[in-house]
Amino acid sequence: MNDKRLKIVSVDTETVSCGDIDFAPIEQLGETAFYGVLTPEALEEAAKDADILLVNKANVTRGLISKCAKLKYVGTYSTGYNNIDIPALEERGIFACNVPGYSTNAVCQHVFALMLMFAGKTDKYASSVERGDWLKSDTFCYFTWPMAEIYGKTFGVYGYGSIGRAAARAAEAFGMKVIVHTRTAPKDCPYELVSSDEIFAHSDFLSFHCPLNEQTAGIINKRTLSLMKPTAVIINTARGGLADEAALAAALNEGRIGGACLDVITREPMRPDCPLIGAKNCIITPHIAWGPRETRARLVEMVAQNIRAFLNGTPQNVITRGLLV
């Protein structure tokens, strides 16, 4: 199915593919134009005649929406959608759909890659061998960087959606004690449910899997960090805005918590004034938890499925919920 009358504009292309992803599932649906990361002005020009607009992190503002007279649908290459003005779309009757669940396994994998690297210092030891340090060693091993077991430690899960549940199961498999904080108590949760303050106070590793909204913005702050054990480690693969970065950097540099493993920061890409640059015991990766090729290929297929469902009159994964009433 390729409706030449349907104009699809897809932006942020290089945030989804480095040339390794096939966009044919989307291209089959209409006349498709792909763009990279655009300035707001260039985005308005590219999208002005679009029936369907696909974005990853580009801001879909009220101003942009007002310039797009034909726009019927906005799709995200993501689960999060805090970059989209939902009320403005609803006022125009424009549907928007996201892609939940596509990255659950990849993000869970990255959580444990970060945690195991932090606990075992595997990155430091591998770099040491690459530098030739083992060639110079008098013994068959050396313990330059202290390591720790994660077995028996308490793993806090802040947010119990699909990724949070997967992380909880993985932690349990490692022999960790799992505790959970979530806004809505889930049915048949096999783990202890605790308050927000309790999960900060009791976790050895506290992993965040909640959306960024008014309730969660800045939840990692001076007060909540003061509740934590001095050996505790923050893991954030959700959204950078969950953390007051200055407060987190201060807690790290002053030794009030043990460390942080982050795949997200407040302003991305990182800027020179980010407070976390050079912070003690802080591992940062560049928002790549969702990055395995299989994951991104799945994402593109699910974006296409969302469009097909919309065109067939049965929209799915709708985030403009006011249009479903």
* Active-site amino acid positions: 239, 268, 287
Full DSSP string of 18-40: SS----HHHHTTEEEEE--S--H
Quote the crossing angle between the two packed helices 122-130 and 104-120, to the nearest 10°: 70
Q: How many CB atoms lie within 10 A of CB 118?
A: 23
Q: Which residues pair with 54 in a beta bridge?
A: 10, 75
d(CA 80, CA 112): 21
Half-sphere exposure of 315 toward its Cβ, with a 13 Å CA cutoff? 17
Burial of residue 271, with CB atoms counted within 10 A of its CB: 0-12 exposed, 13-18 middle, 19 or more buried? exposed
d(CA 246, CA 261): 15
* Residue 117: closest CA among 6, 279, 259, 220: 259
Helical spans, DSSP H, in 174-274: 196-202, 222-226, 245-253
Question: What are residue 240's phi and psi, to 5 degrees?
Answer: -60, -30
Full DSSP string of 274-309: -TTTT-TTEEE--S-TT--HHHHHHHHHHHHHHHHH
